[in-house]
């Protein structure tokens, strides 16, 4: 029996960014698959990081989802190579942001928040949420 290999953290991150962007556009896995000439199951495997997305396919996805290819790597986990290069420290990973946006609640909250035009009101909402979060830690 062959042991299942865990997905590469970069492949998982890129896949989660594909999923997040697809959801932001309200696009189904089936619709993205159709645009790529793939089944929705293949899109699922890409999004979970089970299957690696090749360079040409990633370029195709970036065009369909209307973002630059670099979007898929924003906040990606640092690779071991960076720790071997002198002078490069480990930067904190903003993975929690993409994890949050990958949830339906996170996406709904961000979409609703972005529709608020009053910048002072948006700032007050952020202050309120920060107060609630800090009171939960006591």
Mean pLDDT, range 2-7, rounded to an integer: 72
pLDDT at 83: 45
pTM of the model: 0.62
pLDDT at 2: 63
- pLDDT tens digits, one per residue of 79-97: 654 444 445 555 545 566 6
For residue 98, pLDDT over 80 is answered with: no
Torsion angle, alpha carbons of 131, 134, 136, 138, to 10 = -130
Q: How many CA atoms lie within 13 A of 66 on its CB side?
A: 6
Beta-strand ranges (E) seen in the chain are none
What is the percentage of the chain residues whose pLDDT exceeds 70? 80
Mean pLDDT, range 11-34, rounded to an integer: 93
**Fold classification of 1-80+92-102 (topology level):** 434 Repressor (Amino-terminal Domain) (1.10.260)
Q: Which residue has the higher pLDDT, 18 or 4?
A: 18
For residue 34, the surrounding DSSP H or E stretch is: helix 29-36
Question: 4 to each of 1, 13, 61, 119, how far by Cα in Å?
Answer: 9, 19, 27, 49
Cβ atoms of 31 and 55 closer than 8 Å: no
Domains of the chain, by residue range, sit at 1-80+92-102, 104-138
For residue 131, pLDDT over 60 is answered with: yes
Select from 15, 101, 5, 10 the least CA-distant residue to 57. Answer: 15
């Amino acid at each position: 029996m062959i042991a299942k290999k865990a997905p590469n953290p970069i492949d998982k991150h890129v896949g989660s960014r594909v999923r997040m962007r697809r959801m932001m556009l309200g696009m189904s896995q089936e619709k993205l698959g159709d645009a790529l000439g793939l089944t929705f199951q293949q899109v699922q495997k890409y999004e979970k990081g089970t299957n690696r997305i090749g360079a040409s396919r990633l370029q195709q996805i970036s065009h369909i989802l209307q973002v630059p290819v670099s979007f898929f790597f924003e906040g990606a986990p640092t690779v071991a190579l960076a720790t071997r290069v002198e002078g490069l420290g480990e930067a904190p990973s903003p993975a929690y942001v993409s994890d949050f946006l990958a949830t339906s609640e996170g996406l709904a909250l961000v979409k609703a928040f972005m529709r608020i035009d009053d910048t002072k009101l948006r700032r007050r909402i952020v202050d309120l949420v920060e107060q609630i979060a800090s009171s939960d830690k006591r």
